[in-house]
Amino acid sequence: MSRALKVLLLVQKEQRVILDRFYDGIAQGCDCNIQLLTREDQKNLRKYFSRNIQLGEFDRILLFLRFKQEIRQVSFISSLPNLVILEHDAYQNYIPCKYTGAFSKYYRQLPWVRVISSGYKVAKKLREEGVDAVFVPKGYDHSLLRDLKQERDIELAFVGSIKSTAYSNRKAMLDSICEQEPLLVMRTNSGDEYLQTLNRIRFFISADVGMGEYMIKNFEAMACGCVLFAYDQGEEENQALGFIDMKNVVLYRTVEEFRKKLNFLRQQHEIADEISRQGKSLVERKYRFDILGLQVVEALQAPLRPWRRTKWWERIQMKWGL
């Protein structure tokens, strides 16, 4: 029997989204040492490693840290062998925001690194740029989120953030819908309050406009039995995820299309109920954190590209594609 892969998993200690079950899912498939790094730890990875890590003990080092801290420490990160980066925000590489193009520059300086991306098209674009990129989608915490089978007294709602520059298109779409429909846009605490709120919502309105992939909210809403209205990210992403319009999700591109489908489902309660059931069934089969954790382990197991220590001037050349 082959030896289990020994993995060092470094993650953020302070995170609004609760991802503990995702980490547990990874640990189910390998010999995993999970370490939670504070903001201060992430600011000085060289110091953290020198005090806490014996590099020779691990087959893989898996980073799932704040991107803005990683890109400030390329010199040290490039010294780490057997490195894999897990990234849920690389879609920002391809949208207008402060990180436009930044992921590409970062990965060019680490050409041996494997990147596990949560977007199908994002992973495809990175591969076209020469990155060793693998797709493992986002999902939901199956230990927390579920359909409570209770009355839904909120017809239309979105729960989540609209403040970041990366979410400007999301905010614009939600604002446009609010002008014509009684849509509630709100925030909740993580945990039970979030669970209870999702279970009050009949139609969850997701508006990941221009992002190129579906954010975690979509899977969470489906798991809780909402009928998910999702901004359409395109045929490739939908096929990769198994999203089928008016079967397990409701896709839209404009406010007019959204309202047309909404008014139809307001009249066709049985069809709406079936979309809810099919959506919940899909995420329960494919997007539980324990299932996705094992997919991450599978992505870790294939041989990595050869690693070598690079000089500072080489990293500059690679960063700018010289």
Q: Do residue 169 and residue 196 come from a single domain? A: yes
Model pTM score: 0.92
Residue 2 DSSP code: P
Q: Do residue 195 and residue 259 come from a single domain? A: yes
CB atoms under 10 Å from CB of 268, counted, come to 12
Question: What CATH number is attached to the domain comprising 81?
Answer: 3.40.50
Q: Do residue 199 and residue 295 come from a single domain? A: no
pLDDT tier at 2, thresholds 50, 70, 90: low
Range of the domain at 163: 154-286
Q: Which residues contact 29 (CB under 8 A, 6 or more apart)?
A: 293, 294, 296, 297, 298
Bigger pLDDT: 164 vs 218: 218
85 within domain boundaries: yes
Residue 29 confidence (pLDDT) above 60: yes
Q: Do residue 313 and residue 269 come from a single domain? A: no
Question: What CATH number is attached to the domain comprising 217?
Answer: 3.40.50.2000
Q: In the chain, which ranges are continuous DSSP H helix?
A: 20-28, 39-43, 45-52, 67-70, 74-77, 102-108, 120-128, 168-178, 192-198, 216-223, 235-241, 255-267, 269-286, 289-301, 312-319
Lowest-pLDDT range of 12-16, 142-146, 182-186, 236-240? 12-16
Residue 201, classed as helix, strand or coil, is strand
Section 208-223 average pLDDT: 95
Q: List, for residues 97-149, the tens digit of each pLDDT value.
A: 899 999 999 999 999 999 999 999 999 999 999 999 999 999 999 999 999 99
Q: Do residue 193 and residue 115 come from a single domain? A: no
Number of domains within the chain: 2
Q: Do residue 92 and residue 189 come from a single domain? A: no
78 within domain boundaries: yes
Section 185-211 average pLDDT: 95
133 within domain boundaries: yes
Strand order across the beta sheet in which 31-37 lies: 31-37, 6-12, 60-64, 83-87, 114-117, 132-135
pLDDT of res. 195: 97
Q: Do residue 174 and residue 64 come from a single domain? A: no
Q: Do residue 57 and residue 85 come from a single domain? A: yes
Q: Do residue 96 and residue 182 come from a single domain? A: no
pLDDT tier at 3, thresholds 50, 70, 90: confident
Section 219-223 average pLDDT: 98
* Cα–Cα distances in angstroms (integers) from residue 253 to residues 116, 202, 232, 250, 267, in the given order: 28, 20, 6, 11, 21
263 within domain boundaries: yes
222 within domain boundaries: yes
Q: Do residue 128 and residue 223 come from a single domain? A: no
Q: Do residue 174 and residue 224 come from a single domain? A: yes
Q: Which residues contact 33 (CB under 8 A, 6 or more apart)?
A: 6, 7, 8, 9, 58
144 within domain boundaries: no
Q: Do residue 35 and residue 90 come from a single domain? A: yes
b/e 282-296 (16+ beta carbons within 10 angstroms → b) = bbbeebbbbebbbbb
- Mean per-residue pLDDT over the chain, rounded: 93
The span from the CA of 189 to the CA of 195, in Å, is 10
Of residues 117, 119, 132, the one with CA closest to residue 212:
119
H or E element that contains 18? none
Q: Which two tokens stand for residue 133?
A: 């990129």
Strand order across the beta sheet in which 201-205 lies: 184-186, 154-159, 201-205, 227-231, 250-252
